[in-house]
Homo-oligomer: A and B are copies of this chain.
Amino acid sequence: MVMVKMVEDGAALPEIQAVFDEIKTARKSDWINNFWKVLASHPPTLHRIWATIKEVMAPGAIDPLTKEMLYIAVSVTNNCEYCIHSHTAAAKNKGMTDDMLKELLAVVGVANETNRLANGYQMPVDEKFKPKFD
């Protein structure tokens, strides 16, 4: 049950509608998902998070599809239902196939398993793994 009243696309104050319009343009989409409608209830957060997402998810040394898959890996580990759905949809829009999703989830599962084996056995970090800087 959402904690605040969502701001609807088309019924927002100009400052908020401008962000909605920018999101739609950037995504070549004609609708706004609930994430932004909720954040619009707190304009400073709306502006900050949209600026952050634009910067961090942009193509760079890592391509946007891989970034979406990293997002899914985190969201599954944290069990964020909203984020699992929204970023799986986003990754599919960027070309993630069903087989890729299944392999992604297999990796996420195994990483969560071996994280606990490493912690449970209190494995010492190998000297060779420690970064060296002169």
Contacts and interface: CB of A to CB of B under 8 A. Distances in A.
A1 B125 contact: yes
Given A103-B60, A125-B85, A108 B79 contact: no
Interface residues of A, number: 83
Interface in A63-91: 66-67, 69-89
A11 interface: no
Contacts of A81: 122, 125
Contacts of A55: 44, 48
B78 A79 contact: yes
A10 interface: no
Contacts of A99: 42, 60-61
In the complex, which of the residues A55, A72, A126 has the most CB atoms of chain B within 10 Å of its own CB atom? A126
Interface of A: 1-5, 31, 33-35, 38-39, 41-42, 44-45, 48-49, 52-53, 55-57, 60-62, 66-67, 69-89, 97-126, 128-131, 133
